[in-house]
Amino acid sequence: MDGGSAATRNEARQLVVLGALATAGFIETTGLNISLAIVATSKVCPAAGCQTVLNSPFARLPLPGSGLSIPLMQLGAAAYFCMILLCAAAWNNRKEPQKHAKLERMEGSACWIDRIINVLAIAMASFSVYLMSLIVLVLQSWCWYCAFSALMSLCMALVRRRSTLYKRSDGRAGLVLSVAFALLSFFGTVFGTMPVHRIEWRDARDVRHQVPIYTVQSHSSKRALRLAKRLERLGAVLYGAYWCEHCAMQRELLGKEAFGELEGVRYVECSRFGVGSRKQDCEKRRIRFFPAWEIKGELFQGIKSIELLEEIADVMERIERTVPASAIPAKSRRA
């Protein structure tokens, strides 16, 4: 009896730890979701790496046939919330030993709640490894928010793996499942999710459905026009694609007059199906995701506010005044 009571108390403590980790992950992902819904990405994520990740195509899960997509952060928050509910239900079962013992006698296994916790913990950890591999290997960037969420998921899987509940809930099945997720993640990263494949698939789908070409609707403010003249003098180029919603948001921030045909910021269409496509230029500059600004030979990925673009222009103009024009590489000058 004492051994059984001690085991039950140990299981309860492990469920509390698991629930605490899930709560931390839920607070982080929910807070980030709310913040991004209220303010711009650049305000929530001042670091360039974080902006690159959240503005990339991998930050959303497309729904086939609907044209819609779900932010992965919302899915992560939902997964953490489900884990909290499951831990609460499993912990409640530990408070009723007779009911729990009856459930455990069914086919000699633990209750179905424990099995679901095992599967969810392993799935979240495996998918976190998959996403972090995309961030590091494909995007070649870093995001502390994503790293924290991945750490919480990995810790949950580790706690669950060391738990006696895992061993009594058919741990071998969980091990096989984790290996399957790992292999799926590896082959998905190598063969199915490279940026070029993702972009080309999106282009082909849009052409098949005859998606109309996006045109800027807003008018440029006086401030935006002054900024556009400064960027034009610095040889700034905005790389994007007609299907890219973040590119549309960036162009709307500056307005249509800022991208005039005769004067203003030069816009380069990177989709091979877009009007006036300059895909080769994008590949030559190794543009991975959109939108991307090139100012004096430097690349800045993600949506930039007018304030941030003004700050970048200030820095580039100071460099231009201190460095002789002959010392500036030819590739950084506008053709």
Q: What are the residue ranges of CATH 3.40.30.10 in the chain? A: 222-332
Residue 57, classified by CB atoms within 10 Å of its CB into exposed (0-12), middle (13-18) or buried (19+), is: middle
pLDDT at residue 296 tops 80: yes
Closest-CA residue to 239 (of 187, 176, 190, 303): 303
pTM of the model: 0.56
Cβ atoms of residues 235 and 228 within 8 Å = no
pLDDT at residue 85 tops 90: yes
Cβ atoms of residues 227 and 221 within 8 Å = no
**169-199: per-residue pLDDT in tens?**
555 555 555 555 555 555 454 444 444 334 4
Specify the DSSP class assigned to residue 75: H
pLDDT of res. 81: 95
pLDDT at residue 271 tops 60: yes
**192-218: per-residue pLDDT in tens?**
444 433 444 344 344 434 444 567 778
- % of the chain at pLDDT higher than 70: 63
- Class of the domain covering 222-332: alpha beta
Phi, psi of 267 (to 5 degrees): -105, 130
pLDDT confidence band for 239 (50 / 70 / 90): very high
Q: What is the mean pLDDT of residues 114-119?
A: 83
pLDDT of res. 197: 38
Coil vs helix vs strand at 217 = coil
pLDDT at residue 111 tops 80: no
Residue 148, classified by CB atoms within 10 Å of its CB into exposed (0-12), middle (13-18) or buried (19+), is: middle
Q: What are the residue ranges of CATH 1.20.1440.130 in the chain? A: 2-191
The answer regarding whether domain 2-191 maps to CATH 3.40.50.970 reads no
pLDDT at residue 223 tops 70: yes
